[in-house]
Amino acid sequence: MEVKLWNDKREREMLDSFADLYAIIKTTEKLEKAYVRDLVSSAEYEAECLKLIAQFKTLSSSLREAVPSVERFAEAYKMDCPAALNRLLVSGVPATVEHRASSASSAASSAAAVAECVQHFITAMDSLKLNMVAVDQVHPLLSDLSSSLAKLGGGILPPDFEGRVKVREWLARLAKMGAADELTEQQARQLHFDLESSYNAFMAALPNAGS
């Protein structure tokens, strides 16, 4: 005896759409696992993933009334596809695109921190040239420089970078002096020399500095 799964054309189309949604989720899960296991190239993964995401968005939009929750759909059909649901519902873009965005954001953040350090180095050296040698003038400049150097991770500067050490030493020396005290000419020249040598070492330590 033949068992009919649908009563009319509309029900048949609905079931076909359910089957398509099921297939997209399952295929995405397999693709995610293949990418993690390095069984597919990044280019192939990204192209296929973009296609699946586009198909999912189109289909889930048309099934909005019949399938208000894709998570419940997956539960109802006992689909164990966490990677697919994350990619299709949460992320919405291939993992390769996420990684590029993350790298770009990290690079932009590092570039801003480097620019900040350069600015504080130059400001401190220029201030000494203008004979701004009072402790309450010098200390804030070195404090800003020390803070900006601390923001740079170990991937850019070595942990024992001499500039960090010298700036901290000068801050400790200034902390023992009064706010209105002034550096002697010899101290000012030594501080300028330390800042200049630290600045040159800083620029040399930056990635691709020589290219």
Express each pLDDT in 116-167 by its tens digit: 889 999 999 999 998 999 999 999 999 999 988 887 765 677 777 888 889 9
CA-based Rg of the chain, rounded to a whole angstrom? 30
Q: How far is CA 107 from CA 12, 112, 154, 204, in A?
A: 52, 9, 14, 18
What per-residue confidence (pLDDT) applies to 6?
Answer: 54
Sorted by where each begins, the domain ranges of the chain are 9-93, 104-203
The mean pLDDT of 64-84, rounded to a whole number, is: 92
**Quick check: helix, strand or coil at residue 172?**
helix
Helix locations, 88-157, DSSP H: 95-129, 135-151
Q: Is the pLDDT of residue 207 over 50?
A: yes
Residue % of the chain over a pLDDT of 90: 53
Lowest mean pLDDT among 30-44, 52-66, 148-162, 194-208: 148-162
What per-residue confidence (pLDDT) applies to 154?
Answer: 56
Count of C-beta atoms within a 10 Å radius of residue 188: 17
Q: Is the pLDDT of residue 55 over 90?
A: yes
CB-based burial label for 211 (10 Å; 0-12, 13-18, 19+): exposed
Residue 148 contacts residue 120 (beta carbons within 8 Å):
yes
Looking up tokens 């800083």, which residue turns up? Answer: 202
The mean pLDDT of 81-97, rounded to a whole number, is: 91
Average pLDDT, the chain: 87
CA distance 67 to 74: 10
What per-residue confidence (pLDDT) applies to 10?
Answer: 78
Residue 146 contacts residue 171 (beta carbons within 8 Å):
yes
Superfamily of domain 104-203: Vps28 C-terminal domain (1.20.120.1130)
The mean pLDDT of 179-199, rounded to a whole number, is: 94
Residue 125: closest CA among 116, 133, 134: 133
Is 1.20.1440.200 the CATH classification of the domain at 9-93? Answer: yes
pLDDT band at residue 211 under the 50/70/90 scheme: very low
